[in-house]
Amino acid sequence: MRGAWVTNWPSLRSKSLRSSSSSSSPSSSSSLSWNLKLLGPILPDVWMMPRPNSNAFRSQSSANGKTANVINGNSIARAIRSGVANEICRMKETIVKSPGLAIVLVGGRRDSRTFIRVKLKACEEVGITTYVEELPEECTEDEVLRVVSRLNNNPSVNGIIVQLPLPQHVDEERIINFVSPEKDVDGFHPLNMGNLAMKGREPLFIPCAPKSCIELLLRSGVEIMGKRAVVVGRSKIFGLPTSLLLQRHHATVSTVHSFTKDPEHITSEADIVIADVGIPNLIRGSWLKPGAAVVDMGTNQVQDPGIDRGFRITGDVCYDEAIKVVSAITPVPGGVGPVTNSMLLSNTLDSAKRAFGFI
């Protein structure tokens, strides 16, 4: 049986690669079917990959004369938001309804409020109705559950976000598990994560940050199938679902974590490196294979007295070194972040389409 698989593999791979060259990028009216493509092909089905977006790159020359493509997340995010806004306009005109997103905030963390403001602004721009439920830091777990239960049963709410982190006395797992899988636009519910992990099954939602990583690679014309991919980090929110998505696209995936020996040796053999560990400049240029594609999901504040606010934002990859080695890289900021926010809008739209039976 194993011999037959080995014998048939080259023809399957050849057929899939031939099919990929003739595929086209997704239209704004097919976001649900595009989600299926983001999950990756199930061989021997036809391999689908969007054509490279000429606006997705800006070139930057390194000191040794090589040119790396800097993947423009802002440009890709604008294209996604435009498609979402067009679909919502069509929904309003056709069925006189619009998507609704509810955000649950427990406590008054400044960073959480900042993240929520960004999400609210993005929702307003595309026409998504928002509801914010604020609870005091000292509220009980049962109080949070009651709010989530009410939102689960509210037909005007198509998506629910519980802003993390929660206070220490509140069990995050219990709260996340209580969100209806049909409204879990963050994609963190065990049902959605489990279906993502199982071949042949489809989650209702893909977590936004991992989804944005694959979107960036696909829209930038980076080949995934058959390539060696390394994910640095294994968190349940970022690293784990990103690894699962890459496997669905038939990459050969390795995970590097805090117990990995010689991590730089593993990353230096990878065609694709995706990093999210929260350590600024952890991945140096010497860790990377020449010509690799790098997606930096890290967002770290580094003190910088030369800037008015006293700090700058940097990723987990040492950008100044990596740009001299790789063929494509996402900057921080302006890479994964804006696309992740756009994926939240896309997930909310998809949820509303399912709820309203809107095609």
In sequence order, which residues have a C-beta less than 8 Å from that of residue 78 and are 6 or more positions away? none
Q: Is 221 left (phi over 0), alpha (psi -120 to 50) or beta?
A: left
186: annotated active-site residue: yes
CA distance linking residue 28 with residue 326, whole number of Å: 31
DSSP 96: S
CA distance linking residue 324 with residue 198, whole number of Å: 38
Burial of 39 (0-12, 13-18, 19+ CB in 10 A): buried
User: Which one of 119, 211, 227, 289 is the catalytic residue?
Assistant: 119
Secondary structure of 230-297 in HEC code, one letter for each residue: EEECCCCCCHHHHHHHHHHCCCEEEEECCCCCCHHHHHCCCCEEEECCCCCCCECHHHCCCCCEEEEC
In sequence order, which residues have a C-beta less than 8 Å from that of residue 264 and are 6 or more positions away? 284, 286, 287
User: Which one of 37, 183, 184, 186 is the catalytic residue?
Assistant: 186
Length of the chain: 359
User: Which one of 163, 211, 227, 276 is the catalytic residue?
Assistant: 163
Under a CB-based contact definition with an 8 Å cutoff, are residues 299 and 313 in contact? yes
CA distance linking residue 273 with residue 54, whole number of Å: 22
Helix (H, G, I), strand (E, B) or coil at 71: strand
DSSP 317: B
DSSP H or E run through 153: none
289: annotated active-site residue: no
DSSP 54: G
119: annotated active-site residue: yes
Amino acid (1-letter code) at residue 224? I
Tell me the catalytic residues: 119, 163, 186
